[in-house]
Structure 1
Amino acid sequence: MADATHAADTISLAEPTIRPREAAHFGKLAADWWDPKGSSAMLHRLNPVRLAFLRSAVDRHWSGDHDSVRPLAGKTALDVGCGAGLLCEPLARLGAEVTGVDAAAENIAAARDHAAGSGLDIRYMAGELGHLDVGQFDLVTSMEVIEHVADKGAFVAALAARIAPGGLLVMSTPNRTSRSRLLMVGAAEATGLIPRGTHDWNDFITPEELRLLLAEAGLAMSEPTGIAFTPTRGVHLSSDLSLNYLVTAVPSA
Structure 2
Amino acid sequence: MSNSASSLGIDQSIAFWNERHRRLEHGYAGGDIAYDDTANAMLNSLRVGRLIDLIGTFARPAAPVRILDAGCGTGWLTRTLASFGHQVDGIDTSEQALATCVGRARADGRDRYRLSRLDEWTPGYLYDVVISVDVLFHIMEDHIWAASVRNLGMLVRSRGRLILADHDLVADRQWGDYQVSRARQRYLDLLTSDGFVHRGFVAYAFRNNGAGFHVFDRTS
Which of 64, 84, 97 pairs up with 1:74? Answer: 64
**CA deviation after TM superposition for structure 1 residue 198, in Å:** 7.3
Give the 3 Å change call, closer, same or farther, for CA 249–27 of structure 1 in structure 2. same
SS of the equivalent of 1:224 reads strand
Structure 1 unaligned residues grouped into runs of 5+: 1-17, 186-196, 236-242
Give the 3 Å change call, closer, same or farther, for CA 143–35 of structure 1 in structure 2. closer
**CA deviation after TM superposition for structure 1 residue 21, in Å:** 1.4
Tell me what 1:25 maps to.
16
**CA deviation after TM superposition for structure 1 residue 207, in Å:** 2.4
Tell me what 1:252 maps to.
219
Tell me what 2:166 maps to.
173
1:143, 1:110 → 2: CA distance?
18
Tell me what 2:80 maps to.
90
Cα shift readout 1:175-201 (whole Å, capped 9, x = no counterpart): 4589x87xxx5xxxxxxxxxxx7743x
Tell me what 1:223 maps to.
200
Contact 1:175 1:244 in 2 (8 A): yes
Structure 2 unaligned residues grouped into runs of 5+: 1-8, 32-36
Cα shift readout 1:153-178 (whole Å, capped 9, x = no counterpart): 21111001111233211121134589
Which of 124, 146, 162 pairs up with 2:113? Answer: 124
Provide TM-score, normalisation by structure 1.
0.67
Q: Sequence identity of aligned pairs in percent?
A: 20
2:198, 2:165 → 1: CA distance?
12
Provide TM-score, normalisation by structure 2.
0.76
TM-align CA RMSD: 2.9
Tell me what 2:50 maps to.
53
The structure, 1 or 2, with the larger RCO (C-alpha pairs under 8 Å, 6+ apart) is 1
Cα shift readout 1:122-149 (whole Å, capped 9, x = no counterpart): 2111022443331211111101111122
**CA deviation after TM superposition for structure 1 residue 71, in Å:** 7.0
